[in-house]
Structure 1
Amino acid sequence: MDGDASLNPAPRTVLLTGAAGGVGTLMRELLPGHGYALRPLDLVPVPGAPDAIVADLADREALREAVRGVDAVVHLAGISLEAGFDAIVAANITGLHHLYEAVREEGVPRVVFASSNHAVGFTPRPREGEPLIPVDTPHRPDTFYGLSKAFGEDLAQFYWDKHGVETVSVRIGSCFPEPTSVRMLSMWLSPADCARLLHAALTAPGVGHTVVYGSSANTRAWWDLSSARALGYEPEDDSEKFAERLIARKGLPAPGSADDLYLGGHFCVDPPRWPH
């Protein structure tokens, strides 16, 4: 993971799964500016991309055709909130396995996997003066959704150890144009920083399987970005410019509430359900 990512040529073609989703839509706009030709894929038609692949992660033949000839995959597809266990398994566990099998069969060298902070959601959040949460903190998922992301990180490790497929697993915080809650002030990932992080994850040499946290350089950060920075990621944004207005409107989390106690916040007790 040592070295300057800018010295490594960017992959020419990247399969972007989940291209019609919230983060996928943002990345369709921003990643080409970093030198990528995107091959969008989603379960539904992708607005503004008539040539996008419409396919289900259950369709192994379609997935294999989708990955054929690409230099890397950015995998954003799947269920991104809480849902019933069977639905989570189908989309986020079985579907992810199908993707990795297609990648292995077609010889695609690298995947960037959208993991989540909810893989470690029951981790107590740090207080002022305490160390930031390290990337090697044990999995403590807060939902079936978070559990599927913990599985995804382990699956990525397995495919590296057994098949030599490299992965950067990005524990994404909250990627929106601006934070919408006080909790997000600590884990906001601006769209521009998200594109910078994905670019670093796609170009850094020798990543094996690397887990990183995905957030901007937030003043109120809860987690350690050192493994992301080691890939060449240099975040440029900070949520602090939104803090005064958000806190005035919503107030600080009540002491002893899930948003006050845990990294995963309200996901630990009353998670939003898919579809949202």
Structure 2
Amino acid sequence: MSSPATSTARSRGSATRSRATTIEGPRLRIVVTGARGFLGGHAVTHLRAQGYDVVPLGRGEDGLLRRLDDETRPATPAPAPADLLAGADAVVHLAARSVDSLATPLASYLPANVALTEDLLRGAVAAGVGRFVLASSRLAYPGHLRGPIREDEPEGPDTFYGLSKRMGEDVLALYARTSGIGTVALRIAQVVGPGDGGRGALPRLAAQGLAGGPLTVSGKGAVVRDFVDVRDVATALELAATRPGLPSPLVANIGTGGFSVAEMAREVATQCGLGDDAVVFEPVDREDTSEYRLDTTRARDLLGWTASYGLSAMVRERVGHG
């Protein structure tokens, strides 16, 4: 069953990345939740640059979603989800509770990552929205798997955060089956890029390289993490929201395939003009050899998406901007 967003896009007969700026007639309206966040801000900027009519939503002081571009009545009660989503062709749902410590109980994640998703889906169906896109996570998979990991991996997550994201995906699948709304869940690798706050192995190594070294690596640096640039993720969200003819429910990985910490350190050292001796491997009692490598074949084949930023480009930008 084609969604309203899909049918509208198909009738316009245009390419995915430039559709909104080249077609005639009304623009697709895309609601973005979590628009105040790192990924949300980039998604809004990207979608507007492509010519879409973007409605950004964020949480108010009462914790409820409100339009961020409507400053006229900030003290009024927050609208119901169906009212917030009225007239939308697609929803890109990014609002969530981020991963916390392993000690954080599942109940702490459920309101934002499951209940809010269900509330918005119910509102989207009532409002006649055609496509609902959820930002899921690489942590929907357990950490001990050896990549590249495919979406049909049967083993579930090993963290409560990951479990809450998988539960959100299950809610999407249920609504897709029972209401006919088109749903897409993107299992996104660790997102880096402008405004990421400098967290994680890659920003740490870049900071060490810019300081002249040494670049410190635990053990042999065999641990593998999948990084993806925030602008590539914004493009994936656009395609998930607007590409015609997608199966529903759909789950797709968004990543670059992963890099070992040793690879990252050597690339940073090279781009900072440092020698091989700038990378220092520190002995550890127990080597971390875990991997996160996401197979992105499905995203390529169905969404038409591939990452444009590889390790070299991500390091180059990080080093160039300090």
TM-score of the alignment, normalized to the shorter chain, above 0.5: yes
Q: Superposition RMSD on alpha carbons, in Å?
A: 3.5
Work out the percentage of aligned pairs sharing the same amino acid.
Answer: 29
Cα offset, 1:139, TM superposition: 4.4
Aligned 8 A contact 2:31 2:91 in 1 = yes
1:160 to 176, 179, 193: 176
Q: Which amino acid aligns with 1:159?
A: Y
Residues 98-151 of structure 1: per-residue CA shift (max 9 Å, x gap): 11100111110101101111111334133xxxxx21111124213221111111
3-state SS of 1:6 partner? coil
Cα offset, 1:60, TM superposition: 9.0
Aligned length: 236
- In structure 2, stretches of 5+ residues that fail to align are 3-9, 21-26, 203-221, 261-291
Measured at CA, do residues 72 and 54 of structure 1 come closer, stay the same or move farther in structure 2, by a change above 3 Å? farther
Structure 2: distance between partners of 1:180 and 1:219: 13
Report the structure number with the largest CA radius of gyration. 2
Trace 1:21-40 onto structure 2 (pairs within 5 A). Answer: 21-40=37-56
Residues 12-62 of structure 1: per-residue CA shift (max 9 Å, x gap): 21110011112112222222122222111111489xx5427999xxx9952
Measured at CA, do residues 167 and 19 of structure 1 come closer, stay the same or move farther in structure 2, by a change above 3 Å? same
Partner of 2:92: 74
1:211 to 230, 238, 251: 251
Cα offset, 1:242, TM superposition: 5.5
3-state SS of 1:77 partner? coil
Trace 1:137-148 onto structure 2 (pairs within 5 A). Answer: 137-148=153-164
Q: Which amino acid aligns with 1:146?
A: G
- In structure 1, stretches of 5+ residues that fail to align are 127-131, 247-276
Structure 2: distance between partners of 1:33 and 1:215: 23
Structure 2: distance between partners of 1:31 and 1:224: 25
1:177 matched to 2:193: yes
1:116 matched to 2:137: yes
Residues 138-182 of structure 1: per-residue CA shift (max 9 Å, x gap): 242132211111111111111111111111100111222178315
1:6 matched to 2:22: no
Aligned 8 A contact 2:185 2:252 in 1 = yes
Structure 1: distance between partners of 2:71 and 2:172: 26
Could you tell me the TM-score, scaled by structure 1's length?
0.73
Aligned 8 A contact 1:196 1:234 in 2 = no
1:191 to 213, 225, 230: 230
3-state SS of 1:168 partner? strand
1:238 matched to 2:247: no
Partner of 1:93: 114
3-state SS of 2:70 partner? coil
Measured at CA, do residues 114 and 232 of structure 1 come closer, stay the same or move farther in structure 2, by a change above 3 Å? same
Measured at CA, do residues 116 and 5 of structure 1 come closer, stay the same or move farther in structure 2, by a change above 3 Å? farther
Aligned 8 A contact 1:187 1:218 in 2 = yes
Q: Which amino acid aligns with 2:307?
A: P
Aligned 8 A contact 2:192 2:230 in 1 = yes
Structure 1: distance between partners of 2:56 and 2:151: 30
3-state SS of 1:14 partner? strand
